[in-house]
Amino acid sequence: MESFVSIENASLTFRRWNNPSPQLKEAVLATFSKQKSVSEAQTFECLKNINLRINSGDRLGIVGLNGAGKSTLLKMIVGIYTPTSGCIRVNGQVTPLIELGTGFDPELSGRENIYLNGSMLGRSFNQMKVIEQEIIEFSQLEDFIDQPIKYYSSGMHGRLAFSIATSLNPEILLIDEIFSTGDAQFVGKAQNRMRSLLNNSQIFVLVTHNMEQIKEFCNRAIFLHNGNLLRDGDPTEVVDFYLETIGARTAASKFGEKSQSGSNISQASQLDEVSRVLKEENTALRFKLSALQSASSSGETSGLLAEYSHLAKTLAAEVKPASHPLLLISQVQRSGGNFLNTLLDGHPELSVHPYELHIGHPDKTNWPKLNLDETPKDWFNTLKETHMPRAFLNGYRRRNIQDVTQDDRQQFLLPPFVQANIFEHLCLLKEIKSQRDILDAYMTSFFSAWIDYNLGKTKKKFFTGYVPRLSQTNDSLQRFFEDYPDGYFVSVIRDPRSWLVSERMHTPIQSSQKLDITAWQKSCDAMLSAKEKFGDRVKIIVFESLVLDTETVMRRLCSSIGIDFHSALLTPTFNGKPIKADSAFFSDQYAISDESVHERIHLLEGKEREFIEKHALPIYSTVCLQRFDQQ
């Protein structure tokens, strides 16, 4: 008898609890107290009135974004979930490759788990006995098969699960993503076996993000979105419709426009689909997305690239080029430049790049010099900031991840491949005549690709970036003003006594107890030289004044560069969210502290203070005379 799967008006509803604490305890307490339980559940309709018949000979691909209901539909066919309404009829033995290794007992050996897992797949002891040795050999676990699997690596665990699930001749084969665990040799064997299974099964259903696999292996495809079946038909037509639909929906969501796809997808919410998926804190997905442009991408990752690159191109087509002056902050590190950057962060007229702007070439402290004869890809490869993919994956942070708690990391939804698509699109919109055109495209692409950027819809007057020590590198400041004659250069000077203490605390191994203020002196010389050469385009701020009288300094800075004062300038923020006041996320206070002004100076020994007061304070006084708020 031929196999088939018949799904008639099937819906599946889950209960989602507002309060994740144990419901049993609350229910008992509520019964005795005659009070309503605080853990009320809301219903969530995962699949909605699905009508689908899959016949023998069908090779069905299922496409849709994360959360569309693809895997849930497979689990309903298997019988893991029972429809809330409607019915599902299955004729034929189902072999699911959905969650490999489900039901493994870690205390049992690999051999014992072969029989346990086989029984869960509906196979008898005698059936498994016949194929036991073949499973062991294919999994390459001959030397470990009688060891408890709790000692297996994740790769060994995956190989055993895959070998068991694919050793049986399936009538109805359900696949949720192509297997990619193990070394290259095993992955090649696995892919060959997968092709054999597809050919031998009467029905197979494939869920994947790889659109090319859908077109290659399937003779039919469906598109699920938000639990609805939107399209059923030829794989190429369904895939094209899917990519066009999610692209139009995403553009509508990000830019506040109406979808033009013509589908029956409901009006897009404020956040687009990519933002919704990433906000689920799906680390595995973030890892795949952060590696999309890697040459070593797996088949699954390549599939995500095909899916999301179409979406990124659609977003790019909606981005309008912007050309704003650049407000650049630079001075020797440990002088408060990043602190100033975090104060400017929340101002609605500024697009503030977080932490440090690493576009220098060949070193981040140099202003870039680009070859205008190269291609947009070449320019992006030169300018791209290598730490941004890590921030996208793990959250934005100032220091090494082991030094920072989860609460100290800030969400940073900027997929690198989206920025690359937008940058290349902007570079192709007009003829590139200067390096400024390229830098404008880079800064525009950065803030356009930052999905959860809170201040993206306000009218901007400046891009803002922080580049420590740039003013001290040969010709860098000159090249900056050649690119941005309408820009401003802001430099922060700090009392040399508190600077030395802070520098020692920041780099204790290098600094030790050496009395070395060379870097501070070099920064002062650069400030004076820049002020003399570029006049009012250079703004010098005294760190101590910035800390002790923040509002006065920020009001005068706003007035001098032509922007309105805003209350956000009084609180350090990241993407508009308050962060700890030392800008390194290690203070217990969100308010600005004057500890670095008053207390750290006393940590110097008497002779050190005498030396600095004699050799550095005169320079400090000279530079302070050039501060913009005293002129």
pLDDT band at 594 (very low <50, low <70, confident <90, very high): low
Cβ pair 415, 304 in contact under 8 A: no
pLDDT band at 601 (very low <50, low <70, confident <90, very high): confident
- Cβ contacts of residue 587 below 8 Å, gap of 6+? 580, 581, 593
Q: Which amino acid is at 278?
A: L
> Domains in the chain, ordered, with CATH?
326-630 (3.40.50.300)
CA distances to 109, 136, 142, 155, 276 from 146, in Å: 5, 10, 8, 17, 44
Please report the sign of the dihedral spanned by the C-alpha atoms of residue 74, residue 79, residue 82, residue 87. Answer: positive
pLDDT digits over 505-536, tens only? 766 544 455 688 999 999 999 999 999 999 99
Least confident of 145-149, 260-264, 574-578: 260-264
Residue 168 has pLDDT above 80, yes or no: no
Span 243-251, average pLDDT: 58
CA distances to 2, 231, 298, 401 from 205, in Å: 16, 16, 21, 41
Residue 102 has pLDDT above 50, yes or no: yes
Burial of 98: CB neighbours in 10 Å, binned 0-12, 13-18, 19+: middle
The token pair at 308 is: 């999301």
Q: Which amino acid is at 15?
A: R
Cβ pair 399, 583 in contact under 8 A: no
Cβ pair 268, 406 in contact under 8 A: no
- Cβ contacts of residue 419 below 8 Å, gap of 6+? 384, 388, 445, 446, 448, 449
Residue with tokens 């969400």: 411
DSSP 250: H
Backbone φ and ψ for 214, nearest 5 degrees, come out as -60, -45
pLDDT band at 592 (very low <50, low <70, confident <90, very high): low
For residue 101, what pLDDT is reported? 63
Which among 559, 555, 557, 552 has a CA at the least distance from the CA of 540?
557
Q: How far is CA 176 from the centre of its chain?
A: 24
Rounded CA-CA distance 446/353 in Å is 8
pLDDT digits over 198-233, tens only? 788 899 899 887 787 788 889 999 999 889 999 999
pLDDT digits over 32-75, tens only? 444 444 445 567 788 999 999 999 999 999 998 777 889 899 98
- Residue 97 pairs with which residues in a beta bridge? 175
For residue 64, what pLDDT is reported? 87
Which among 342, 323, 307 has a CA at the least distance from the CA of 442?
323
Which of the two residues, 50 and 602, has the higher pLDDT score? Answer: 50
CA distances to 146, 162, 294, 491, 555 from 623, in Å: 75, 69, 48, 11, 21
Kind and range of the H or E run holding 558: helix 550-561
- Residue 52 pairs with which residues in a beta bridge? 7
Which among 66, 109, 378, 411 has a CA at the least distance from the CA of 246?
66
Pairing of strands 59-63, 41-55: unpaired
CA distances to 69, 181, 243 from 44, in Å: 12, 33, 26
DSSP one-letter string for 57-73: T-EEEEE--TTSSHHHH
Cβ pair 202, 56 in contact under 8 A: yes
Rounded CA-CA distance 148/105 in Å is 9
pLDDT band at 463 (very low <50, low <70, confident <90, very high): very high
Least confident of 159-168, 524-533, 545-554, 556-565: 159-168
**In 8-105, which ranges are continuous DSSP H helix?**
23-33, 70-78
Which of the two residues, 256 and 442, has the higher pLDDT score? Answer: 442
Rounded CA-CA distance 265/402 in Å is 43
Which among 307, 310, 350 has a CA at the least distance from the CA of 328?
350
